[in-house]
Copies of this chain bind each other. A is one copy, B any other.
């Protein structure tokens, strides 16, 4: 008789955003007349830009003609896209990364979930708390996290690094040395970030202690301050300790288009074994490349026009962020983030729990946000709003919140 992977049974409840979706659907059904504003899930609302649309139409036409039709893509991505990424995201920032260290995928979520496969089951992971749930859940599914304690809302074998207003949202080096460290800056969910010199300290720590850093830089396009690194490879020594995961979702609005990439430098080795080669093997075995037309769409954002469009899109959302942030401040909330990231992280008023505030906001302002506690125990009493709505909705949401 076959047996299932028992680790799945350890996962408590369902995925955060499914729970929110159900609650919102129930509220809307009970209150069909209410106009709900969704500032919860980090999904973009602006349409794809002209360069991207043009590239999609053009490549679709290529697929209609036998002479230009493309079948299976190279497992690791087309050279035209890997070269464009290398040139624009790395070389231009002075990072020593080559195209064959760049692996194109169907998105940062897949890569974030799959990357743990490269590591032994008995590695110990460290995560910031609060944290993007995928890092934790994917490790739980692989049996790397021990058991879940309902009271503390923590896994016995995970090292949690609280990032709260108390430490300025800068994680401290943990007492116990981890094997794998997940870092995401600018951070989801807190919308805060750390400086380049603080990131350098983490790189030094990882190299000194034999750790791998999984660096999620999905929000790098939102960085507005000079002393923040856009890539971990801006730090000295990162090639021997860091994997970087990047996304096209938030800079180019590709949430429904699906494109991302992961960088695994050749210098990242465990003894003689190249993690780059392991990831290449994984890609070659369990993935069949991102669609040709979508890789062409990704390439388009690196043209001059494409880069201008990205700046415009990011600028639009960051203006929303400013609207939300300043509105909340006017309303007397304690607010973080929203300067280098499209997320605003607020402290709930009157010591409400995150879910209490979720219900309160949904019922009284008909605004959907994300409860901070859904991202980890240190997210309790915090709440996330995203800047990915329209300006009109962001303004309207804040008007409603100010009236509460």
Other contacts beyond A2-B180, A53-B63: 10, CB < 8 A: A3-B120, A3-B123, A11-B281, A46-B66, A56-B63, A106-B106, A109-B288, A113-B285, A255-B288, A293-B293
Contact A107 B71 (CB under 8 A): no
- A273: nearest residue on chain B (CB-CB)? B4
Query: Of B5, B114, B290, which contacts A286 at CB under 8 A?
Result: B114
Residues of B with C-beta under 8 A to A18 = 284
Encode contact with B along A172-210: 1 for CB under 8 Å, 0 otherwise: 000000011000000000000000000000000000011
Residues of B with C-beta under 8 A to A57 = 57, 60
Min C-beta distance of A243 to chain B, whole Å: 11
Min C-beta distance of A379 to chain B, whole Å: 18
Contact A48 B72 (CB under 8 A): no
Cβ-based interface call for A138 (8 A): yes
Cβ-based interface call for A211 (8 A): yes
Bound together, the chains give a CA A107 to CA B275 distance in angstroms of 25
> Given contacts A113-B286, A291-B257, are A47 and B69 in contact (CB under 8 A)?
yes
Contact B72 A4 (CB under 8 A): no
Residues of B with C-beta under 8 A to A117 = 5, 141
Bound together, the chains give a CA A119 to CA B6 distance in angstroms of 8
Cβ-based interface call for A103 (8 A): no
Encode contact with B along A4-29: 1 for CB under 8 Å, 0 otherwise: 11101101001100100000000000
Residues of B with C-beta under 8 A to A209 = 1
Bound together, the chains give a CA A294 to CA B256 distance in angstroms of 10
- A210: nearest residue on chain B (CB-CB)? B1
Cβ-based interface call for A166 (8 A): no
Encode contact with B along A25-44: 1 for CB under 8 Å, 0 otherwise: 00000000000000001011
Cβ-based interface call for A322 (8 A): no
> Which residues 293-340 in A have Cβ within 8 Å of B in the complex?
293-294
Cβ-based interface call for A216 (8 A): no
Min C-beta distance of A43 to chain B, whole Å: 4
Bound together, the chains give a CA A255 to CA B63 distance in angstroms of 11
> Which residues 79-118 in A have Cβ within 8 Å of B in the complex?
106-107, 109-110, 113-114, 117-118
Residues of B with C-beta under 8 A to A215 = none
Bound together, the chains give a CA A291 to CA B249 distance in angstroms of 12
Query: Of B48, B253, B285, which contacts A134 at CB under 8 A?
Result: B285
**Could you pull out 9 A-B pairs where Cβ atoms are within 8 angstroms?**
A2-B210, A5-B117, A18-B284, A46-B66, A47-B64, A73-B256, A107-B288, A134-B286, A291-B291
